[in-house]
Amino acid sequence: MRGADLLVSYLKEEGVTTIFGYPGGAIMPVYDALYESGLKHVLCRHEQGAAFAAVGYARASGEVGVCLATSGPGATNLITGLADAYMDSIPIVAITGQVPSAVIGTDAFQEMDVLGLSLACTKHSFMVTDKDELANVLKQAFSIAKSGRPGPVLVDIPKDIQLAEVEAALITSSKDSIDDFDKNTLVNAKALLSKAKKPMVYAGGGVGMANAETQLQDFVDATGIPSVTTLKGIGSIPNSKPYALGMLGMHGTKTANLCVQECDLLIVVGARFDDRVTGRLETFAADARVLHLDIDPAEINKLRTADVSLCGDLQTILPALNDVKLSIAEWQEHCSALKQENLWDYNAPYRSIYAPKLLSRLSEKLSDTSVVTCDVGQHQMWVAQHMNFTSPKNHLSSAGLGTMGFGLPTALGARYARPPEDTVVVVSGDGSFMMNVQELGTIKREQLNVKIVLIDNQRLGMVRQWQQLFFEERYSETILTDNPDFVTLASAFNIEARTITEQDEVETALDEMINSKGAYLLHVRINEADNVWPLVPPGASNADMMEKV
C-alpha cells in the first residue's frame, strides 16, 4: 500500500471515525486514499475551521480530534487552531501534506517550513523523513496528544512519502501511565488541609482533562470546602452545589472573587494562575497558603509558590484527600450568605433584550447533555456567567488563547462528537461570527443541526467596553453598524433565521429555535451600551471589582 493508504488505515485502526480537513496539492494522495475509504471526512471551508472542528470534537467527546490540510497556506491556516489547542491542552492530531522531500528547502510552490512554525504552538511535531517510520510516527503522535497533559501534535508528511510503497504495520497508540504522586507529601497536604479554617477549591481545566469531575465533586461533598472555577473549569462543579461560588477572575462572580481573597488555603486543582484569573498576582489570595494539585510539574511554582504540591492523576490524588476532617461551618455560612446576597439581577426595565437574561433562560430550556460553544468577547463572558453546565465537555470556550472565530467551527466538531439528541448551540457575537462565517457552508453541505444565537450589538463589544472605561470613549474601529443582514446571510446557506429586538419576543424565539428541525440562526439585537459586569480592571486586585458605571 501507499503511505497515504497506510495513514487512512491507521486512522481507522486507531478508532477515528470523523476527520475535518481541506484538500490541496501536497495532500492529494491522502484524499485519494480517503475516497470510498469509509472514513468520514468533513470538508470545512477554511483550514482554521477544520482545526477548530477537531478541537470541538476533542473537547465534546474526550477523544483525540483529527484535522487534515495541504502544505503551505493550508498548514499555516491550521496554526491558530493548534495554538488554541495548545493553550487549552486539547488533544488533536493535525496532518499536513508537505512538498516532496527532494524539493524541501528550495522554496517550492506551496512550500513552508511547517515544522518550524509548529514549534511554539504544539506539544510536539514531526516531519516524516523515512517512509518506514510513518506508522511509528502516527502511533507516537496519537500517544503524545492524549498522554499526560494533553495537547496538539502535528505530523507533516512529504508527498513522496504519501506515494511510497510501505508495509502495513499498524500498532495503535496508548496513553502513557501517569507517575504516582508522592505518598510522603500526602501527609503534608493533609496537614495543610486540616489546619485550614477558610479553605477554597480553585478548579481549572485540568479537572475535565483528567475526567476527574466525579472525584472533585466527591472531594467537595466530603469536606464541604467551597469552590470556584476558572473559565475552562466551568462544569466541573455544578453551580447548584451549595458552596459552588461560580467563576472567579476578571469577570468572575463577586462572591467567588471576594471569598478567594479571604481564604486561608487555596486548593488549586488543575489550574495555573492565569492572569485573567488572578488579577494583580501579588494581591491574589495574598494571605492564603497554597496546595497545588496538577499533572504538569511545570505549573508548580510557575507563578505562585506552593506550600505543598502533588503531581499526578487528579483521579487518584483527590480521593486520597477525602478523609480530612475540617471544622469550617462558619466559613461555609459566610460563603453561602455572600452567594445569596450576590445572585444575578435579571431585572431589565427596558424593552430591548438583556443578553444575560436571555442566556439564563436558554440555559434553563436546554437539557444537561446540550453543548454550548461560544466565541470570544462580551457574549463569551455572559455565557460563562449566566448559563449552567454539568460537565466541562458541554461548555466549549476558547480560554487560554481567546480566539474569536472559535464558536462556529467547534460546534461542527461537537455535532459529530455527540449523539443527535444532544443539542449543540453556538453563542456568538457579531464580531466573532464573521471570523469563521464560511463554516455556514459546512453546515449547509452536511445539513448539520446546529443552533446559532448571534448576539448583535453592532460593536466589537468587549473592546468597545474597554474603550469606554479605559480609553476615554474613543471608539476606534469597534463600530459595526455596517454589519451584513445576518438573516439574509443565513438564508443563503438554507439556514432558517429570525431577528428579535424586544424582550417579549425572547421566550417564543428560543422555543422556536430549540424545536426547529435543522440548523437555525437566532439573530438577537441588543443595546450597545450593555457591558459585562463585574469587571476587575487590568492591573487591579480581584478585590477591586467594578460593578457598572
Partner 1 sequence: MSLPQQQLQIDVNKSPEVLERILRVVRHRGFKVELLNWKDETSQLLLTVSSERSINLLTSQLIKLFDVTNVIELNDVAQSKSA
Q: What is the dihedral of CA 489, 492, 497, 501, to 10 degrees?
A: 30
CB under 8 Å to 175, separation ≥6 — which residues?
143, 146, 147
| Annotated catalytic residue, options 47, 111, 213, 528 | 47
Q: What is the DSSP letter of 229?
A: E
Q: Which amino acid is at 110?
A: Q
Q: Which is nearer to partner 1, 117 or 277 (CB)?
A: 117
Q: Which is nearer to partner 1, 297 or 484 (CB)?
A: 297
| Annotated catalytic residue, options 1, 110, 262, 505 | 110
Q: Which is nearer to partner 1, 137 or 448 (CB)?
A: 137
**Which candidate, 328, 314, 313, 306, places its Cα nearest to that of 189?**
306
Q: Exactly one of 297, 470, 511, 546 binds partner 1 (CB under 8 A); which one?
A: 297
* Cα–Cα distance measured from residue 134 to residue 474, given in angstroms and rounded to the nearest whole number: 55
Helix axes 134-146, 3-14, angle to 10 degrees: 30
Minimum gap (Å) between residue 143 Cβ and partner 1: 10
| Annotated catalytic residue, options 387, 434, 462, 545 | 462
Judged by CB under 8 A, the chain residues 170 through 229 that form the site for partner 1 are none
Q: Which is nearer to partner 1, 296 or 544 (CB)?
A: 296
162 is catalytic: no
47 is catalytic: yes
Q: Which is nearer to partner 1, 115 or 452 (CB)?
A: 115
**Binding string, residues 82-121; x marks residues near partner 1 by CB under 8 A:** ---------------------------------xx--xx-
Identify the burial level of 10 via C-beta atoms within 10 angstroms of its C-beta, where 0-12 means exposed, 13-18 middle and 19 or more buried. Answer: buried
Sheet holding 153-158, edge to edge: 40-43, 18-21, 65-69, 92-98, 153-158, 124-127
Q: What is the DSSP letter of 471?
A: S
| Annotated catalytic residue, options 123, 146, 159, 339 | 159
Q: Which is nearer to partner 1, 89 or 223 (CB)?
A: 89
195 is catalytic: no
Q: Which is nearer to partner 1, 151 or 356 (CB)?
A: 151
Identify the burial level of 233 via C-beta atoms within 10 angstroms of its C-beta, where 0-12 means exposed, 13-18 middle and 19 or more buried. Answer: buried
- Candidates 79-87, 251-259, 299-307, 394-402: pick the segment binding partner 1 (CB under 8 A): 299-307
> Three-class SS of residue 406?
coil
Minimum gap (Å) between residue 124 Cβ and partner 1: 4
* Cα–Cα distance measured from residue 526 to residue 355, given in angstroms and rounded to the nearest whole number: 7
How many positions of this chain bind partner 1 (CB under 8 A)? Answer: 15
Q: Is 124 in the site for partner 1 (CB under 8 A)?
A: yes
Q: Which is nearer to partner 1, 121 or 522 (CB)?
A: 121
* Cα–Cα distance measured from residue 239 to residue 244, given in angstroms and rounded to the nearest whole number: 5
- Classify strands 92-98 and 395-396 as parallel, antiparallel or unpaired: unpaired
Minimum gap (Å) between residue 300 Cβ and partner 1: 8
Judged by CB under 8 A, the chain residues 130 through 159 that form the site for partner 1 are 144
Q: E-assigned strands of 249-295?
A: 265-269, 289-294
Minimum gap (Å) between residue 298 Cβ and partner 1: 4
* Cα–Cα distance measured from residue 486 to residue 498, given in angstroms and rounded to the nearest whole number: 9
- Candidates 44-52, 291-299, 312-320, 361-369: pick the segment binding partner 1 (CB under 8 A): 291-299
109 is catalytic: yes
* Cα–Cα distance measured from residue 295 to residue 210, given in angstroms and rounded to the nearest whole number: 9
Minimum gap (Å) between residue 113 Cβ and partner 1: 10
- Candidates 165-173, 211-219, 296-304, 511-519: pick the segment binding partner 1 (CB under 8 A): 296-304
98 is catalytic: no
Q: CB neighbours (10 Å) of residue 421?
A: 8
Q: What is the DSSP letter of 303?
A: S
Q: Exactly one of 13, 264, 296, 307 binds partner 1 (CB under 8 A); which one?
A: 296
C-beta of residue 34 within 8 angstroms of C-beta of residue 8: yes
**Interacting residue ranges for partner 1, rule: CB under 8 A:** 115-116, 119-120, 123-124, 127, 129, 144, 296-298, 300-302
Q: Which residues are catalytic?
A: 47, 109-110, 159, 462
